[in-house]
Chain A
Amino acid sequence: MSAEAGQQHPLGIYLKIWVLLFVLSTLSYLVDYFNFQGLLRWTLIIIFMLLKAGFIIAIFMHVMWERMALILTILGPPVVLLFLIGFMVVEGGYTFGARVEHFGADPNAQPLPVTHIGGEHEGVSH
């Protein structure tokens, strides 16, 4: 059995991970529902996101049962994307600074409230 007969594993592990993904999704939705803000919000969102992604890759996509040669081929190359993120953070910050300096920006500006239209709620805002 195992790798040579394809990826065959007991059903139970899939069902457990399935339930776990539901719980994690609910938790990340609740972060928004209870309107957590600031550092707590970003930390929770990132943790739940990484846990979900990890379980999908490791269990559902069977990566944890693959051989090291394939695992590194899959997970190795995307590491360079971290550099792209780093560079673009610097670039984005610079562009923002240039825009504020040359065009000005209202530091207290808020997005306009959203008005939902359609159905029987034509024009009702909240």
Chain B
Amino acid sequence: MAYKIISSQCTACSACEPECPNVAIYEKDGTFVINPKKCTECIGYFDDAQCVAVCPVDNTCVIDNSYPRYQAA
């Protein structure tokens, strides 16, 4: 249902924040986090998850397996 940011790898560059179509990303304690309740994996907006595409550190924005995958309504 959602992406998450691995905080130990996040450089806090903020590139993902304005790209998120759901405004689900915000800064918290020097790193960026995704609100899983708002994240739609960009389904319905873009072909690719925007946070993944723009993040300068590969494998930092990843699917959070503790949530079921997002289903478009």
Q: A and B bound?
A: no
Residues of chain A touching chain B, judged by Cβ–Cβ distance below 8 Å, are none
Residues of chain B touching chain A, judged by Cβ–Cβ distance below 8 Å, are none
